[in-house]
A and B are shown apart, each in its own frame.
Chain A
Amino acid sequence: MADDTLLQRITDYTNRPDPYPLYAQLREAGVVRQTDGSYLVGTYHDIVALLHDPRVSSDQRNRTALYRGADPGDARQLPTFIRRDDPDHHRLRSMAMRPFGPPHSPGRIDAMREEITRITEDLIASIQDREQVDIVDDFAYPLPVTVICRLLGVPREDEPVFREWSATVIDSIDIGPGEDLRKREAAGEQARTQMGRYLVDLAERRRGGPGDDMLSAFVNDPGPAGEFSRAELAATSALLLVAGHETTVNLITNGILTLLRHPDQLDLLRRDPGLMPSAVEELLRYEPPVHMLPRTPLAPLDIAGTTVPRGVPLVLVLASGSRDPQRFRDPDRFDPTRPDNQHLGFGSGIHSCYGAPLARIEAQIALGALAPRLSTATLVEDPPPYRNSAILRGPRHLRVEF
């Protein structure tokens, strides 16, 4: 049956430029077991229900032995809070939130608008005389890296050091059905350990002499929940550093690509910059950076008439849900003025994207600054070459001629 290989086809690199017809097949097929034992879910309402279902775990240690990947005997690192359940998830996430957002730091991200605008303008100045630009390498990657470095308190000059680690981590969370993941996972573990050690070292140097950055706050301003353990600090700060830029780069790049493919909408945005916030929401629906989330049922679940057993991998295809015609009118149309746009770009439920407010501001500022300059731009190749990951999807390069 064709459905059996759907995950294989979705993860097949040749389908990376346009997985959406496969998502339509997935929604048509309902909940279907794949040959590797996992279950794919692609309809909006099913995904939302599962993201709010307390019987669905984010912790892959709850998978039955067959699906647990690496040997559980390994001395593995603690999973980060995005891969843990309450109450640990809540404790770690609230501790990480303390210097980042409400209630303790409600204005933190909003106060960075000016700085993000300045970083954006600097990047644009550095490329404005060039005829050909790679949007990824020259703009969409350096912007969030600079921002997250500033926010966490990581020296920007160390970027070459953590770039490799970050790429290895991203590679390790990709899915490829039927493939032996252990080697990639081991490499990912090692990169996370090294990155964690590096970040803990940075934080420890600020103990007692804090700067205005999150690593300083983590070691100098513990809240009522107490201080992170060394392992927790390593895992959490590595997560924030990686997630703080590996997603936004795709959001910005996918945004530029989409705008260049829709010159009428680009024109609309140039004439009415006030539309930018809703345009970013539409991008998060139409071309989101995060396409899938892994989950594990803790009890047998009835999903759209299919009983999914406990302990098996459940893959929620968020990008498919956000294009579900049962939820969104004319879902394959890119419409920055779309009302009622409750997309799944940031997930939903208790694991709703921690960095969403920052990602929104970065994308709004980046696209807002670039949009006026895109009127004369053309894509050098369409589709562009994509990054390998089917989960964190976006172009590896996006060459544009001005």
Chain B
Amino acid sequence: MPSDPREGRIVVVGASLAGLRAAEALREEGFTGPLTVVGEEHRPPYDRPPLSKQVLLGTAAPDTTGLPMRRDPDAQWRLGVRATGLDPLAKRVLLADGESLPYDRLLIATGTRARPWPHPQQAALDGVFTLRTSEDAARLAERLAAGPRRVLVIGAGFTGSEIASACRERGIEVTVAERGPGPLVGALGGTLAKLAAAMQRAHGVDLRCAVTVSALRGRDGRFVGADFSDGSRVEADLCVVALGAIRNIEWLADAGLAAGPHGIACDAGCRAVDMYGIVTDDIFVAGDIARFPHPLFDYQMLSLEHWGNAVAQAEVAAHNMVSPGPLRRPHLTVPVFWSSQFGFNIKSVGVPAFSDQVVIAQGSLAERRLVAVYGYRGRITAAVTVNMAKWLEHYQGLIESAATFPPGPGAADGQPLVTEFPIPSDVPDARGLSHGPTVALTGHLPVRRLTVVRSAG
């Protein structure tokens, strides 16, 4: 390892949002050594949020979502090649083409991929899609433009709901199947899930909750419909499997890192932790793949699939990779997330799943404009706005300062908070959802006193 951390050789594995922003930040922070960015996809880094929105609506072409570069990271780009292994002793990243890249410091930003339909033969039917890459979006947008009679969306998380919204906006009939009690319930809890269900139904979505899809049916290799656990059936031309994401950790199987289904554990400074809980000095983690402790949520390890987290964490990781120990910074960003669907703008700050109660602090369910504030044991831990995003900054301040829950009365929009009693936030166990939550508390739900351990299978 060179004595000046701004020198040496850095490899970034993962060429999406976190990888690109980290590469840019490394140069901004004065890194002068050779920098290599490895990416499995052939395309240069691109933005994913438009894929489930504008691209499916046909208002943006899938190849136009390239991420703007804030500066040229002056990197060697190894695109279209997968990392297959890591040798932490020899300090080398192994690539699928047989080459291996030496590093002094490594940043892992391999993110997630779409969780496929578990039955491979059914998943291979023509007309069954997942949505994660721009290629996925291009193929799905093309099939939506061809005017299918009905689309089945499996999973009513954010991605599934946005796909359903795009279908309805294009006038396509859509059935949404959700194993949990309502759409978005894993991210927003039971109360807002009721609002989400109402808005889906108001827009003509055939929403089926508390059911699972037991089989996808095909004829001549084409998807034609699905059987549900309640015995009902649906006929459809397309099926989008929106079951959440799988973290791309398989290539690290022999690397000795604390890598699991929730990602790679790291400390607050983005340094990866090995399987014995010992922090590494030369391996850093950022973006969807990271699982990090957050002081605002009792140091629970969080796994986030949020755009803003990828950017912020990449910048902290890059800073720490090229800074001597005492100048390193913690990644303490409050999670922020947004979604647009059915004409609603939904924004979330904090971790709604880290809550026991919720109160509508501004607006109302009836107006379809509101601020829901979440609390855990008398302290504000999250807020979600529906079409009221401009107020979010205030609530972020309350979360950061651990303000008391419920917030005081007096909001200027005429809803006297005192009449709206806090109600249980109804955060479900993620295992009851058909999709993964976009924020996972990877220890335990705070409202639970003990964790039930079940053996797999």
Contact = CB atoms under 8 A, between A and B. Distances in A.
Interface of A: 48-49, 52-59, 62, 85-87, 90, 298-299, 310, 349-350, 352
A87 B363 contact: yes
Contacts of A349: 390-391, 393
5 contacts: A52-B397, A54-B394, A85-B413, A86-B388, A86-B414
Nearest to B412: A85
Given A54-B361, A54-B362, A86 B394 contact: no
A234 B391 CA distance: 29
Interface in B405-421: 408-414
B390 A53 contact: no
Give the 9 A-B CB pairs with smallest separation, nearest first: A299-B410, A86-B413, A54-B411, A85-B412, A55-B410, A52-B394, A298-B410, A52-B393, A57-B412
A394 B440 CA distance: 53
A223 to B, nearest CB: 12
A384 B390 CA distance: 39
B72 interface: no
Contacts of B220: none
A217 B138 CA distance: 38
A58 B369 CA distance: 19
Nearest to A59: B412
B169 to A, nearest CB: 13
Contact of A87 (B371, B393, B409, B413): B413
Contacts of A86: 362-363, 369, 388, 412-414
Contact of A299 (B361, B369, B393, B409): B409
A54 B414 CA distance: 10
Nearest to B371: A54
Contacts of A48: 393
A54 B397 contact: no
Interface of B: 361-363, 367, 369, 371, 388, 390-391, 393-394, 397, 408-414
Given A54-B362, A54-B411, 14 more contacts: A52-B391, A52-B393, A52-B397, A53-B394, A55-B408, A55-B410, A85-B414, A86-B369, A86-B388, A86-B412, A86-B414, A87-B414, A299-B408, A299-B409
A208 to B, nearest CB: 29
A349 B392 CA distance: 9
B68 to A, nearest CB: 17
Contacts of B363: 86-87
A49 B413 contact: no
Contacts of B362: 54, 86
Nearest to A50: B394
A97 to B, nearest CB: 13
Contacts of B393: 48, 52, 349
Contact of A55 (B367, B369, B412, B414): B412
A54 B410 CA distance: 7
Nearest to B394: A52
Tell me which of B397, B412, B413 has the highest count of chain A C-beta atoms within 10 A of its own C-beta.
B412
Contacts of B410: 54-55, 298-299, 310
Given A49-B394, A87-B367, A349-B390, A54 B409 contact: no
A82 B71 CA distance: 40
Contacts of B390: 52, 349-350, 352
A362 B371 CA distance: 36
A56 B413 CA distance: 10
Contacts of B369: 86-87, 90
Nearest to B397: A49
B365 to A, nearest CB: 13
Nearest to A54: B411
Contacts of A55: 408, 410-412
A52 B413 CA distance: 13
Contacts of A59: 412
A62 B410 CA distance: 11
A92 to B, nearest CB: 13
A184 to B, nearest CB: 26
A350 B371 CA distance: 14
A117 B125 CA distance: 58
A54 B367 contact: no
Contact of A58 (B388, B391, B412): B412
Nearest to B391: A54
A282 B159 CA distance: 40
B206 to A, nearest CB: 24
A299 B397 CA distance: 18
A251 B302 CA distance: 47
Contacts of B412: 54-59, 62, 85-86, 298
Contacts of B414: 85-87
A159 B361 CA distance: 46
- Which of B363, B388, B390 gathers the greatest number of chain A CB atoms within 10 Å? B390
B50 to A, nearest CB: 16
A303 B397 CA distance: 14
A87 B361 CA distance: 13
Contacts of B413: 54, 85-87
A52 B371 CA distance: 13
B47 to A, nearest CB: 19
Contacts of A56: 412
Contacts of A298: 410-412
B403 to A, nearest CB: 11
Nearest to A296: B412
A350 B408 CA distance: 20
A62 B411 CA distance: 12
A197 B362 CA distance: 35
Nearest to A62: B412
Nearest to A55: B410
Nearest to A103: B343
Contacts of B367: 87
A49 B413 CA distance: 17
A110 B371 CA distance: 33
B406 to A, nearest CB: 13
Contacts of A350: 390-391
A28 B390 CA distance: 29
Contacts of A57: 412
A90 B414 CA distance: 13
A141 to B, nearest CB: 32
A82 to B, nearest CB: 13
A85 B361 CA distance: 15
A48 B371 CA distance: 19
A58 B414 CA distance: 13
A166 to B, nearest CB: 28
B361 to A, nearest CB: 7
